[in-house]
């Protein structure tokens, strides 16, 4: 019998949109295990304030793993106040090299209102080229929708909400119960 990881973790769509001096991170509320929706109102987007510097983070993947990563990110931000890029790189390095952290199954989108990054367990800290990024099972749908809307007159929040609605219509692991956090101007 082949070894399998925890059964069927699917779900979550998280999007980050930067436009007009603001960054919006939005996430759906669905938690699915296999074919079953376990919860529809989870909060997968959080505001962190280490050292008085606001950072917004959204996560896809295992909730417990994501919270472990968010705690580590907060510690990195406290050690490097106001330096999200440096804290993100330090977290990615630890995640890639620490035997405990290597087993964590999650991804993060983080922003301080200026920069926006995707942090992965492969050691990546990625900044989007087109001011939009998305992760999770519906991430590609939300990303495509948001990129198509970026030239419109809509605000970052309007784009994020519309892109999430499109992803929820397409991806069975994404719902329309959103948590939306705005940071920046």
The answer to whether 147 and 19 are in contact (CB under 8 A) is no
Residues whose CB is less than 8 angstroms from the CB of residue 126 and which lie 6 or more positions away in sequence, other chains included: 117, 118, 119, 120, 133
97 is catalytic: no
Active-site hit among 4, 12, 63, 133: 12
How far does CA 142 lie from the centroid of its chain? 12
Please list the active-site residues. Answer: 12
């Amino acid at each position: 019998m082949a070894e399998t990881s925890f059964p069927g973790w699917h779900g979550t769509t998280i999007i980050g949109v930067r436009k007009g001096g603001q960054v919006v991170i939005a996430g759906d509320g669905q938690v699915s295990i296999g074919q079953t929706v376990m919860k529809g109102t989870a909060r997968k987007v959080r505001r962190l304030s280490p050292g008085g510097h606001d950072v917004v983070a959204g996560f896809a993947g295992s909730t417990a793993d994501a919270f472990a990563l968010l705690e580590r990110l907060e510690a990195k931000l406290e050690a490097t106040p106001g330096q999200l890029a440096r804290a993100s790189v330090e977290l990615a390095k630890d995640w890639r090299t620490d035997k405990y952290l290597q087993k964590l199954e999650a991804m993060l989108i983080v922003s301080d209102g200026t920069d926006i990054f995707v942090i992965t367990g492969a050691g990546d800290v990625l900044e989007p080229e087109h001011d939009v990024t998305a992760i999770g099972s519906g991430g590609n749908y939300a990303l495509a929708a948001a990129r198509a809307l970026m030239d419109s007159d809509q605000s970052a929040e309007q784009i994020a909400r519309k892109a999430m609605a499109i992803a929820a219509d397409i991806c069975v692991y994404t719902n329309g119960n959103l948590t939306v956090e705005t940071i920046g101007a």
